[in-house]
Structure 1
Amino acid sequence: MALRRVTVSLSILFQTPPPSLYLTHTYSLTIPRTTPSLISFRHSSISASKTLTPSLPPSEKPFLFIPPGVEPTQINDSMILPFSNIVIGPYAGDSKIKDVEFIKSSPRAKDCPKDDRPEFAVLGRSNVGKSSLINSLVRKKELALTSKKPGKTQLINHFLVNKKWYLVDLPGYGFAKASEAAKVDWSSFTKGYFLNRDTLVSVLLLIDASVPPQRIDFDCANWLGRNNIPVTFVFTKCDKMKVSKGKRPDENIKEFQEIIKQNYKQHPPWIMTSSVTGLGRDDLLLHVSQLRNYWDQ
């Protein structure tokens, strides 16, 4: 059955000198009615907390992700999650994970659990630290399969959190040692999942911040954008400050954002994390809670 689509107007605020002057640009965006509606989530370049990517000058801070129930003029520094562009609003609630249960592994999208619980899909390039992040979020070792050999996750794995919502572990993409047939198969059923899961609230797209931006990550992000699938960029390995081998994580993140904004009229929410130090763990869960609570309305 074809998706019904609706065209809505959205606004972006761009800060221009002097600081008090804002220009509003409006454009149209087509969104599937069957996709969880996040159309009132807005982005602006209002001055953020000093903890927001400290290396960036004020004029280069990325647009803020402003949730429903929050007006741009109401924002203060305490409402912005550290090392992110995410504003916390009234829909944010209890984000503590008290119980996690593995439900099933599905070889195809149509085999996934059939209920109305909201879900968040975790996706990323192989060896991005996906399983480690999942284990860090739920504070359980080896809940998601971790391995020194990337590409071990080859099924759609559903974990039920607090008996209320799903965390979905998807196969990693870009694993060089996988057979070409396997690559095609993984890509096919993963895209089928995105296009056919009405309960999908958002994709947590993991990006390795310890290396320069990768073309395969842009391809994935742009595909999600073209198909109007809500996404949050979760930058991993932000503790790895190997300057001698390349740029710092914050520099790689800045470069990624500069490139991605060419294809995203509104910059998606993003946050820096580290499974080693726990950076961003609680804040990411708080972000998930407000997306989930808004979706439940």
Structure 2
Amino acid sequence: MVLLHLPRTHISLCTHFSLFSKPKTPTFNIATTLHPILTCKLFSAPKSTLSASESIPISQFPGNHIETPQEFETPIEIHPEFETHIEIPLEKLFVPPETEVKYTDSGALSTRILKGSNILLSKYARDAQVNQAEFVKSSVRTEDCPSDGLPEFALVGRSNVGKSSLLNSLVRRKKLALTSKKPGKTQCINHFRINDSWYLVDLPGYGYAAAPQELRTDWVKFTKDYFLNRSTLVSVFLLIDASIPAKKIDLEYASWLGQNQIPMTLIFTKCDKRKKKRHGGKKAEENVQDFQELISGFFETVPPWIMTSSLTNQGRDEMLLHMAQLRNYWLKH
């Protein structure tokens, strides 16, 4: 085991809140795999793999038995054709803070894993259901954001990655965050208050070449200032299009978040899509694994990740449960 010394000694090394990247300038070659990572093992376990294939409804957890208002969309049943299946090595699981890893007598992992992810469930996965969502305000400066101290999760990604659609899927509202066929429409820090107790934050998309250079520069400036100086930010959810091969700009963005020790979860979108050979000819799960291999050389711990689809609502409950356990831990500490 490689012993690592981090500045945040009061929190376990292998937690979401101590995620950081190796201090070097990233250079990416998407056609090749980066060098192996020196990792801290999350726990001792048999050398085997396990599948995050079991769906865990939000209603099975404390505080989640809430009637869905009529204004919210009806959940969409996922067709078996769109089911994803990834074998996850034990050392690449994400273990939330204060989570006990349990095994059966035969040595199999008995702690539950969120479907389509590498995330173990913790005792903090409660009050995850969304029963109220409202737009609060748009801001162009971090200091103009809401000052009520509520915890928040920021959604960011390349333009046209499906960010607004995912936000609408999370709250089961068709038009809470307006979607557009023209990428780059979101140009502010948009706060949406959930259950009067926490925020979802929609940030400007990056990498849209058609936007004026001056405007794109401003987006990057105030977005990164928000990441570095927003004290109520629990985690950044970095959206990656899983229907296409890895993009250099996404790899660089993930590395920047890691270098600055900003808690991050990778959210792979459009996992229902099957691209033709001209787009690489790979399944979503293959692109997910490729992306993780490409960034692994720049991280000491494995980032949490979830596969999603706004079309089928795949990953919706998993994202809400993950946000709940991070949020409740953050509030306690």
**TM-score past 0.5 threshold:** yes
Q: Cα distance, 1:73 vs. partner?
A: 4.1
One-letter code aligned to 2:330? W
Following superposition of structure 1 onto structure 2, how do residues 125-274 of structure 1 map, counting pairs within 5 Å?
125-245=158-278, 246-274=281-309
Partner of residue 70, structure 1: 99
Amino acid at match of 1:251: E
Aligned-residue offset at 1:165: 0.2
Distance 1:48 1:158, change over 3 A: farther
What is the CA–CA distance in structure 2 between the aligned matches of 1:137 and 1:158, rounded to whole Å? Answer: 14
SS in 1 for 2:206: coil
Letter in 2 for 1:269: P
The answer to whether the 8 A contact 2:101-2:111 is kept is no
Alignment of 1:282 with 2:317, yes or no, is yes
| Alignment-derived partner of residue 74 in structure 2 | none
* Residues 134-164 of structure 1: CA deviation (Å, up to 9, x unaligned): 0000001111120000000000000000000
Note the C-alpha offset of 1:68: 2.1
Contact kept, 8 Å, 2:118 with 2:304, in 1: the verdict is yes
Aligned to 2:71: none
Once the two structures are TM-superposed, the CA of residue 30 in structure 1 deviates from its matched residue by 3.2
Q: Structure 2, unaligned stretches of length 5 or more?
A: 17-40, 54-83
2:27 counterpart residue number: none
TM-aligned CA distance change 1:48 to 1:98, over 3 Å: farther
Q: Which secondary structure does the structure 2 equivalent of 1:122 belong to? A: strand
Aligned residue identity for 2:240 = I
TM-score by length of 2: 0.76
Question: What is the aligned residue count?
Answer: 269
Write the letter of the residue equivalent to 1:54. H
**Residues 97 and 267 (structure 1), Cα distance of their counterparts in 2 relative to 1, 3 Å cut:** same
TM-score (norm 1): 0.85
Aligned-pair distance for 1:26?
Answer: 1.9
Which residue does the alignment assign to 1:44? 42
Q: Secondary structure at the match of 2:3?
A: strand
Corresponding letter in the other structure for 2:205: G
Q: CA deviation at 1:67?
A: 1.2
Determine whether 1:30 maps to 2:7.
yes
Q: Deviations over 1:18-46 (max 9, x none)?
A: xxxxxx3321223499xxx6756277385
Q: Relative to 1, partners in 2 of residues 1:123 and 1:62: Cα closer, same or farther, differing over 3 Å?
A: farther
Q: Secondary structure at the match of 1:152?
A: coil
Q: Please state how far the C-alpha of 1:71 moved relative to its aligned partner.
A: 2.9
- Identity fraction in percent: 53
C-alpha contact 2:102 2:110 (8 A) present in aligned 1: no
Give the partner amino acid of 1:212: P
Q: Which has the higher contact order (CA 8 A, sep 6+)?
A: 2
Alpha-carbon distance in 1 for matches of 2:99, 2:171: 29
* Structure 1 alignment gaps of length 5 or more: 1-23
Answer yes or no: is the 8 Å Cα contact 1:159–1:166 preserved in 2: yes
The CA distance in 2 between the partners of 1:88 and 1:222, in whole Å, is: 26
Q: How far 1:76 sits from its partner (Å)?
A: 3.1
Aligned to 1:54: 85
